[in-house]
Amino acid sequence: MKQTTFDARTALLAGAVLFSTATASYAGAKDYEFQAVQTDIKQGPGTVVSVRLVDKRTGKAVPDAVIFTTRMDMAPEGMETMTTPVEPSTSTEAGVYAFTTNLSMEGGWRFQIAAKVQGEPETVQGELVLKAMP
């Protein structure tokens, strides 16, 4: 009968395989995306823009992200310097983040957003194109 031995090299190799498998399961910023709840938005002051942060691996909305950067400009219309303030607003749906802004002109608006997702070291960034309609 053949006897198998379990030596230090085998233990080290088994540990390395387990460790590499465990670390490979972490998500990165590319595993998340921002999606516009609605892309056609009413033009004017007090406009509410809502975005959903989604984990692309599961398709589920991600609640409790910390939004720390927002920018709204008219880059789709060739007017990147035409900006408007964006203020956080309240949302009743988990994983949906609402903002109030003034889309002063009809046309395309670019909404850039960045967030930190709990437990993830990388920053999640998104860029959405919205259309302000009368």
pLDDT digits (tens, 9 = 90+) for 72-85: 999 999 999 999 99
Which residues are CB-contacts of 23 (< 8 A; sequence separation ≥ 6)? none
DSSP string, 74-134: EGGGTEEEEEE-EEEE--SSTTEEEEEEEE-SSEEEEEEEEEE-TT-SSEEEEEEEEEEE-
Q: What is the CA radius of gyration of the chain?
A: 22
**Domains of the chain, each with CATH number or no CATH:** 27-133 (2.60.40.10)
Identity of the residue numbered 37? V
| CA–CA dist 47, 104 (Å, integer) | 10
pLDDT digits (tens, 9 = 90+) for 24-64: 446 688 999 999 999 999 999 999 999 999 999 999 999 99
pLDDT digits (tens, 9 = 90+) for 86-129: 999 999 999 999 999 999 999 999 999 999 999 999 999 999 99
What are the tokens at 124?
């999640």
What pLDDT is attached to residue 26? Answer: 60
